[in-house]
Structure 1
């Protein structure tokens, strides 16, 4: 894992930029699985996601079907347009409703991202033995750091790298399907309705990435 990450970073950093004629694409509706791993090799989380690209909604549930030692058990429902984050505990029928300060997440390229390069993973000359991706980079608005995201030519997210002074992560996606299989996952659970918005401690920034950094 570490060697693969190092190689990917090297390719991203040594590629030639051609930002003048590329515009960030936006991902379609998706269902799939996501892994969050630190550069030290620690598995932060692994779980299923459902993403509504039009409604700007994301549900991520980790450590359910594939529990791992040290990984986080999370159930997050994020409404990016409304700026609301729900941390859900279905077992205890409870939740926390928080302000979502940053709408950046690993399933969509930010509008201000810069195109870095087009890369081939595997072989570009043997049919069926390679994957062509575009790589985009930018800075993290709420942290001192930057990111690099790779997507397929149809804008399906493959992996995202996040670098900060305190931590670095690689987030990768597998078994992605371009549909919302269970729309109910993007609906606020009944036991969360009417939940008051919690006050955010000074200096705290709630975001998808802040759950792991």
Structure 2
């Protein structure tokens, strides 16, 4: 009888602990400091779009982009290096060995879920019938007082890897970003240094923020 009660007590404890784990509230999180992957961005109801490979370094506050897309019905290719601590962005042309340098009018914002974000939902992308068929994600929403904008950000429950972001301001409308093929770490840190032919580049007068530079 004592053995039976002991087994029941142990089983009850397991059930209680399992219930606590499965009922945990999603927590606000921070994306890995070093991340590589790809992304697609769409604005103006799909009239402007771009697809890019990215390298993200929150430690050094640097972002590298290789992108192609279409803006105002014109195709473009771009190779860009954002150095937020130096407040400059380079547009690099390896074919012609030229480099455009613009002031970067944006502070670096690490990729994370802000403390004032509100949980909208937790869902499984794909299927939930068997292990490996789906991906557990959390969607958060909030306002951006600096720009008067608002956002919806979806990240993975495990790892806080970005999945998608919807960002809205009256000026830009909805900007939709989807992330894929993310890998933790940076394969080649040299990608965050401008090539030698950029050394003598004059700084242009036009200031850019991240979105205006991207497009």
TM-score, with normalisation over the residues of structure 2? 0.72
Q: Answer with 1 or 2: which has the greater Rg.
A: 2
Equivalenced residue count is 186
Deviations 1:71-93 (A, max 9, x none): 43221101123322112222222
| Whole-Å separation in 1 of the counterparts to 2:140 and 2:107 | 17
| Whole-Å separation in 1 of the counterparts to 2:99 and 2:146 | 25
User: Paired residue for 1:176?
Assistant: 182
| Whole-Å separation in 2 of the counterparts to 1:71 and 1:51 | 25
Q: How does 1:3-152 map to 2 (within 5 A)?
A: 22-38=27-43, 40-42=45-47, 44-63=49-68, 70-103=74-107, 108-109=111-112, 111=114, 114-117=117-120, 118-140=122-144, 143-152=147-156
For 1:207, which of 190, 203, 209 is the aligned residue?
A: 209
Deviations 1:26-72 (A, max 9, x none): 32312211111236234511121112232121100112xxx778443
Structure with the bigger percentage of helix: 2
User: Paired residue for 2:169?
Assistant: 164
RMSD: 2.9
Query: SS where residue 76 of structure 2 aligns?
Result: coil
TM-score, with normalisation over the residues of structure 1? 0.72
Structure with the bigger percentage of strand: 2
| Whole-Å separation in 2 of the counterparts to 1:83 and 1:90 | 22
Gaps of 5+ in 1: 1-19
Query: SS where residue 105 of structure 2 aligns?
Result: coil
Gaps of 5+ in 2: 1-24
Q: Is 1:197 matched up with 2:199?
A: no
Moved over 6 A (4+): none
